[in-house]
Amino acid sequence: MESKIAAAEVPASAPGENFEVRQSKTDDDYVPDPSKSLPLSPARQRLVDDIIDLYSMKPTVERVKRYTSDCVYDDQFVYANDRYKMAGQWFALPKLFKASVNEGYQIVKDEPGLIQFRNKQSWTFLGIPKTAVMDALVTLSLDPATIDSDFIQVKYHKDQANDKDYSHTGLGFSFKKWQADNVIKFMNSDEVKAFEADKGAGKEHVREHGSGTAEGKAPVKDL
Protein backbone atom coordinates (compact mmCIF):
# COMPACT_ATOMS: atom_id res chain seq x y z
CA MET A 1 0.00 0.00 0.00
CA GLU A 2 1.18 3.54 -0.75
CA SER A 3 1.20 4.76 2.83
CA LYS A 4 3.24 1.89 4.20
CA ILE A 5 6.65 2.72 5.62
CA ALA A 6 8.88 -0.31 6.07
CA ALA A 7 11.98 -0.25 8.22
CA ALA A 8 14.05 -1.28 5.21
CA GLU A 9 12.91 1.71 3.14
CA VAL A 10 14.08 4.51 5.44
CA PRO A 11 16.92 3.95 7.95
CA ALA A 12 16.23 4.79 11.57
CA SER A 13 19.10 7.29 11.49
CA ALA A 14 17.29 9.45 8.90
CA PRO A 15 15.74 12.67 10.31
CA GLY A 16 12.00 12.77 10.90
CA GLU A 17 11.31 14.70 7.68
CA ASN A 18 12.01 11.48 5.75
CA PHE A 19 9.04 9.72 7.37
CA GLU A 20 6.22 12.01 6.25
CA VAL A 21 3.18 10.21 4.83
CA ARG A 22 1.42 12.20 2.08
CA GLN A 23 -2.30 11.72 1.52
CA SER A 24 -5.51 13.41 0.47
CA LYS A 25 -9.13 12.24 0.63
CA THR A 26 -12.29 12.82 -1.33
CA ASP A 27 -13.84 14.46 1.75
CA ASP A 28 -12.90 15.65 5.23
CA ASP A 29 -15.06 13.17 7.15
CA TYR A 30 -12.76 11.91 9.91
CA VAL A 31 -15.49 11.10 12.47
CA PRO A 32 -14.33 7.97 14.33
CA ASP A 33 -16.39 4.84 14.88
CA PRO A 34 -14.70 3.15 17.86
CA SER A 35 -16.68 -0.07 17.24
CA LYS A 36 -14.74 -0.51 13.97
CA SER A 37 -11.32 0.20 15.45
CA LEU A 38 -8.59 -2.28 14.50
CA PRO A 39 -7.02 -4.16 17.43
CA LEU A 40 -3.43 -3.29 18.33
CA SER A 41 -0.66 -5.22 20.01
CA PRO A 42 -0.13 -4.29 23.69
CA ALA A 43 2.98 -2.21 22.88
CA ARG A 44 1.21 -0.32 20.10
CA GLN A 45 -1.87 0.24 22.26
CA ARG A 46 0.32 1.75 24.99
CA LEU A 47 1.81 4.12 22.39
CA VAL A 48 -1.65 5.26 21.24
CA ASP A 49 -2.78 5.63 24.87
CA ASP A 50 0.18 7.94 25.53
CA ILE A 51 -0.57 10.02 22.43
CA ILE A 52 -4.23 10.36 23.46
CA ASP A 53 -3.11 11.45 26.93
CA LEU A 54 -0.89 14.12 25.36
CA TYR A 55 -3.85 15.41 23.36
CA SER A 56 -5.86 15.38 26.59
CA MET A 57 -3.45 17.75 28.36
CA LYS A 58 -1.72 15.09 30.44
CA PRO A 59 1.88 15.67 29.33
CA THR A 60 4.75 13.98 31.14
CA VAL A 61 8.43 13.68 30.28
CA GLU A 62 7.96 9.96 29.69
CA ARG A 63 5.07 10.52 27.27
CA VAL A 64 7.00 13.12 25.28
CA LYS A 65 9.80 10.56 25.02
CA ARG A 66 7.43 8.67 22.73
CA TYR A 67 9.02 10.84 20.02
CA THR A 68 12.54 10.59 18.68
CA SER A 69 14.78 13.61 19.24
CA ASP A 70 14.63 14.45 15.49
CA CYS A 71 10.85 14.02 15.19
CA VAL A 72 8.42 16.26 13.30
CA TYR A 73 4.95 17.29 14.51
CA ASP A 74 2.71 18.69 11.77
CA ASP A 75 -0.90 19.90 12.17
CA GLN A 76 -3.12 22.83 11.14
CA PHE A 77 -1.44 25.23 13.54
CA VAL A 78 2.06 23.90 14.29
CA TYR A 79 5.14 22.59 12.51
CA ALA A 80 7.67 21.53 15.17
CA ASN A 81 10.78 19.83 13.81
CA ASP A 82 12.48 18.49 16.93
CA ARG A 83 11.43 17.03 20.27
CA TYR A 84 12.35 20.17 22.21
CA LYS A 85 9.85 22.26 20.24
CA MET A 86 7.30 19.47 20.46
CA ALA A 87 7.68 19.32 24.26
CA GLY A 88 6.98 23.05 24.36
CA GLN A 89 3.74 22.50 22.47
CA TRP A 90 2.41 19.71 24.68
CA PHE A 91 3.30 21.46 27.93
CA ALA A 92 1.86 24.76 26.65
CA LEU A 93 -1.65 23.36 26.10
CA PRO A 94 -2.84 23.96 29.70
CA LYS A 95 -1.89 27.62 29.25
CA LEU A 96 -4.27 27.89 26.29
CA PHE A 97 -7.13 25.54 27.12
CA LYS A 98 -9.23 24.84 30.19
CA ALA A 99 -9.85 21.26 29.12
CA SER A 100 -9.24 18.80 26.31
CA VAL A 101 -11.30 15.61 26.23
CA ASN A 102 -10.94 12.65 23.90
CA GLU A 103 -14.39 11.78 22.59
CA GLY A 104 -13.29 8.60 20.82
CA TYR A 105 -10.89 7.27 18.24
CA GLN A 106 -10.78 4.57 15.57
CA ILE A 107 -7.62 2.78 14.44
CA VAL A 108 -7.86 2.57 10.64
CA LYS A 109 -4.35 1.39 9.72
CA ASP A 110 -1.89 -0.79 11.60
CA GLU A 111 1.18 -1.47 9.48
CA PRO A 112 4.81 -2.23 10.41
CA GLY A 113 5.91 1.39 10.25
CA LEU A 114 2.59 3.18 10.54
CA ILE A 115 -0.44 3.65 12.78
CA GLN A 116 -3.35 5.84 11.65
CA PHE A 117 -6.48 6.68 13.60
CA ARG A 118 -9.49 8.93 13.30
CA ASN A 119 -9.67 11.08 16.41
CA LYS A 120 -12.38 13.25 17.99
CA GLN A 121 -11.15 15.79 20.54
CA SER A 122 -13.09 18.56 22.29
CA TRP A 123 -11.17 21.69 23.30
CA THR A 124 -12.49 24.18 25.88
CA PHE A 125 -10.74 27.54 25.77
CA LEU A 126 -9.43 29.39 28.81
CA GLY A 127 -11.49 32.47 29.65
CA ILE A 128 -13.96 31.84 26.81
CA PRO A 129 -17.15 29.80 27.32
CA LYS A 130 -16.64 27.93 24.09
CA THR A 131 -15.77 24.33 23.24
CA ALA A 132 -14.53 23.34 19.80
CA VAL A 133 -14.81 19.74 18.61
CA MET A 134 -12.23 18.57 16.07
CA ASP A 135 -12.29 15.41 13.98
CA ALA A 136 -8.92 14.57 12.46
CA LEU A 137 -6.83 11.82 10.94
CA VAL A 138 -3.72 11.21 13.04
CA THR A 139 -0.79 9.53 11.32
CA LEU A 140 2.08 8.16 13.40
CA SER A 141 5.14 7.19 11.36
CA LEU A 142 7.11 4.88 13.62
CA ASP A 143 10.82 4.74 14.32
CA PRO A 144 12.21 1.62 12.59
CA ALA A 145 14.64 1.09 15.48
CA THR A 146 11.83 0.73 18.04
CA ILE A 147 8.86 -0.82 16.20
CA ASP A 148 9.54 -4.21 17.79
CA SER A 149 10.29 -2.87 21.28
CA ASP A 150 8.06 -2.35 24.31
CA PHE A 151 8.50 1.43 23.99
CA ILE A 152 7.74 2.40 20.39
CA GLN A 153 8.71 5.92 19.28
CA VAL A 154 7.36 8.23 16.59
CA LYS A 155 9.38 9.90 13.83
CA TYR A 156 6.61 11.96 12.18
CA HIS A 157 3.26 12.88 13.73
CA LYS A 158 0.72 14.38 11.33
CA ASP A 159 -2.71 15.62 12.41
CA GLN A 160 -4.86 16.28 9.34
CA ALA A 161 -8.36 17.77 9.68
CA ASN A 162 -9.05 18.59 6.02
CA ASP A 163 -9.28 16.49 2.88
CA LYS A 164 -6.11 18.06 1.42
CA ASP A 165 -2.64 17.46 2.81
CA TYR A 166 -0.26 20.24 3.86
CA SER A 167 1.80 22.06 1.23
CA HIS A 168 4.37 23.50 3.70
CA THR A 169 4.31 26.76 1.76
CA GLY A 170 2.67 30.17 2.08
CA LEU A 171 1.74 32.43 4.97
CA GLY A 172 -0.19 29.72 6.78
CA PHE A 173 2.84 27.49 6.97
CA SER A 174 5.09 30.39 7.93
CA PHE A 175 2.83 30.99 10.93
CA LYS A 176 2.87 27.29 11.85
CA LYS A 177 6.64 27.21 11.92
CA TRP A 178 6.95 30.61 13.63
CA GLN A 179 4.58 29.45 16.36
CA ALA A 180 6.60 26.31 17.10
CA ASP A 181 9.91 28.19 16.95
CA ASN A 182 8.75 30.89 19.37
CA VAL A 183 6.42 29.24 21.91
CA ILE A 184 9.38 27.28 23.24
CA LYS A 185 11.11 30.55 24.19
CA PHE A 186 8.44 31.15 26.86
CA MET A 187 8.45 27.62 28.29
CA ASN A 188 10.93 27.37 31.16
CA SER A 189 9.55 24.40 33.09
CA ASP A 190 11.86 21.60 34.18
CA GLU A 191 9.84 19.19 32.04
CA VAL A 192 10.56 21.15 28.86
CA LYS A 193 14.19 21.74 29.84
CA ALA A 194 14.60 17.96 29.98
CA PHE A 195 14.51 18.03 26.17
CA GLU A 196 16.73 21.06 25.60
CA ALA A 197 19.53 18.96 24.10
CA ASP A 198 17.14 17.87 21.35
CA LYS A 199 17.17 21.29 19.70
CA GLY A 200 20.46 20.19 18.18
CA ALA A 201 18.94 16.99 16.77
CA GLY A 202 19.58 16.19 13.14
CA LYS A 203 16.98 17.67 10.85
CA GLU A 204 16.53 18.57 7.21
CA HIS A 205 15.06 21.58 5.45
CA VAL A 206 11.27 21.69 5.36
CA ARG A 207 9.98 19.69 2.42
CA GLU A 208 7.77 21.94 0.33
CA HIS A 209 5.12 20.21 -1.75
CA GLY A 210 3.34 23.07 -3.52
CA SER A 211 -0.11 21.53 -3.02
CA GLY A 212 -1.96 19.02 -0.90
CA THR A 213 -3.09 16.99 -3.88
CA ALA A 214 -1.52 14.36 -6.12
CA GLU A 215 0.61 17.09 -7.74
CA GLY A 216 2.14 17.67 -4.32
CA LYS A 217 2.82 13.96 -3.82
CA ALA A 218 -0.39 13.53 -1.81
CA PRO A 219 -2.36 10.80 -3.60
CA VAL A 220 -5.94 10.05 -2.62
CA LYS A 221 -6.07 7.39 0.11
CA ASP A 222 -9.11 5.37 1.13
CA LEU A 223 -9.37 4.84 4.88
pLDDT on residue 129: 85
Phi/psi-derived region of residue 217, left when phi > 0, alpha when psi is between -120 and 50, beta in every other case: left
pLDDT on residue 200: 85
Task: State the pTM of this model.
Answer: 0.94
How is 19-71 classified by DSSP, letter by letter? GPPP-B-SS------GGGPPP--HHHHHHHHHHHHHHTT---HHHHTTEEEEE
First to last CA, the chain: 12
Tell me which H or E stretch contains 171.
Answer: helix 170-183
pLDDT on residue 66: 98
pLDDT on residue 128: 86
Burial class of 186 by CB neighbour count within 10 A (0 to 12, 13 to 18, 19+): exposed
pLDDT on residue 28: 87
Residue numbers in the chain where pLDDT is lower than 50: 1-8
pLDDT tens per residue, range 98-140: 999 999 999 999 999 999 999 999 999 998 889 999 999 999 9
> Quick one: which of 221, 13, 4, 18 has its CA closest to 118?
221
Contacts of 174 (CB under 8 A, 6+ apart): none
pLDDT on residue 222: 84
CATH class of 38-187: alpha beta
pLDDT on residue 215: 92
pLDDT on residue 9: 78
User: Where along the chain do its domains lie?
Assistant: 38-187
